[in-house]
Structure 1
C-alpha cells in the first residue's frame, strides 16, 4: 500500500521530475540516489513510486538510469516491444489502484529488436518460434500503421506502437485507469528514447 507519509505528486509534477532527470543524464551530471541501509529499511515498510513505466526489455533502455532515479521511485513493467499484454495491463492497474501513481509512461526506443522482427514478419514473411511469434502479433498493427515509405520503418513503427498503447490506456482501459484520468489524478503519456544521444522525447510535447 502507499506510504501516506510522503507527499502525493500531481501528474504534471511527476512528469517534470522525469524530464529534469533526463536533462541531468544528458549533461553527464553525477547522481547518487540514496541506496544505503536506512533507505532500504524505509522502503521495506512501504513503497510510493511517483510514476509507472511500460518500457522495452532492451538492455540499453534502463528507465532508472535514463531519468536518474533511485530505489522505490519508479514502478517498471518491461517486455519486448513495450506491449500492453495482460500482465502489463494488470501491473499498471496495480500501480495506480494500490500504489497511487499519478503518471504512466509508455516508452519505446530507436532500433528496437522486437519491432525489427515484426517488420521482418510483414515485409519478408520471416518466421519465429511460437512464443516470440505471440509477442510479435501485438506489434504488427503498429508496423502496418507506420508510413511504409518512412526512412526508417523500424523506428516509425516503434513510435506508432507507443502512440497505440497510449491510446488504449487513455480510451479503452478498465475503469481502474479511466476514472482517475477523467478526474485528473492520473496522466498517461508516451515517450521515445534515442540510443545514440540518450535523449528522451515526451510525445505529449507534440500536441
Structure 2
C-alpha cells in the first residue's frame, strides 16, 4: 500500500510543522545519518513547495521537515516559468506528491521592485532582473488601480496587498499553463495551497486553497 498521504493530510502535516517552528519547539525530524541513507537511492516527498528565493524562506526549517520530505522549487518572487512548471509537473507525475504549496512572503524585494518599476521616473533595471519581476507588475498595477480614488501611489501602496494579488495570480497561472496539474486537482489527487509567510511571526497563512486540502485541519 502506498504511504503517499492524502492532499488534506499532507497540508495538515505542513501546518503542524509550521506551528512547532512558530512555537520555538521544532523537532528537526529526519535529518540524521539514517535518514540520509534511507533517501540515497530514491525520494518520496510528502509535498512540493514553490516559493521565493529569499534567504529567510528556508522551506524545511519553516515547516520543520527533513531530508526527502519536500520537493522545493524557488526563484525570486515565486514567478511562474517553464522550468518551474516542468519541475512541479515532475513532482506530480513522477514523484506523485499530493500537495503543492506556493509560498509568498511579506517584505518581498521582488514585489517592491515591481511596484517601484511602475513609477514614472523609475530607473531602468538590469535586463534579466526586469524579466524576472515583470510578471509581478500586473498585480501592482491592479492594486494601484483599485486604490486610485484614494490617491494610492507606488510610494504609499500596501505591498502586502500586491504580494497577495501576485500569489493568487501565480496559482491561477500555474493551473492555466499546466493541464497535468489542473487535471490532478480536478480529480482530487492533488491540492494547491497559496500561502503568505510572515517573516516576524514565522507563520504561513493560507490565502488560496484548491482541492482536497480545503478540508484539512491542523
Using structure 1 for the length normalisation, give the TM-score: 0.91
* Residue 195 (structure 1) aligns with: 199
Q: Decide whether the 8 Å contact of 1:189 with 1:202 is kept in 2.
A: yes
Is 1:127 the counterpart of 2:124? The answer is: yes
Q: Decide whether the 8 Å contact of 1:35 with 1:70 is kept in 2.
A: yes
Q: Decide whether the 8 Å contact of 2:164 with 2:196 is kept in 1.
A: yes
Q: Decide whether the 8 Å contact of 1:6 with 1:48 is kept in 2.
A: no
* Residue 35 (structure 1) aligns with: 31
* Residue 105 (structure 2) aligns with: 109
The higher relative CO (CA closer than 8 Å, separation ≥ 6) is in 2
Structure 1 vs Structure 2 CA RMSD: 1.8
Give the gaps of 5 or more residues in structure 1: none
For 1:44-59, list aligned pairs within 5 A: 44-59=40-55
Q: Decide whether the 8 Å contact of 1:191 with 1:203 is kept in 2.
A: yes
* Residue 141 (structure 2) aligns with: 144
* Residue 168 (structure 2) aligns with: 163
Q: Helix, strand or coil for the counterpart of 1:54?
A: strand
1:72-107 deviations in Å (ceiling 9; x for gaps): 001111100001111111111111011000111111
Structure 1 outlier segments of 4+, above 6 Å: none
* Residue 8 (structure 2) aligns with: 12
Q: Distance in 1 between matches of 2:65 and 2:198?
A: 18
Q: Decide whether the 8 Å contact of 1:169 with 1:188 is kept in 2.
A: no
Is 1:24 the counterpart of 2:20? The answer is: yes
Using structure 2 for the length normalisation, give the TM-score: 0.86
Give the gaps of 5 or more residues in structure 2: none
After alignment, is 122-131 or 75-84 more displaced?
122-131
Q: Distance in 2 between matches of 1:7 and 1:67?
A: 20
Q: Decide whether the 8 Å contact of 1:110 with 1:158 is kept in 2.
A: yes
Q: Distance in 2 between matches of 1:179 and 1:53?
A: 19
Q: CA deviation at 1:173?
A: 2.8
Q: Helix, strand or coil for the counterpart of 1:139?
A: helix
1:147-188 deviations in Å (ceiling 9; x for gaps): 444965322111111101112223x13221122111100011
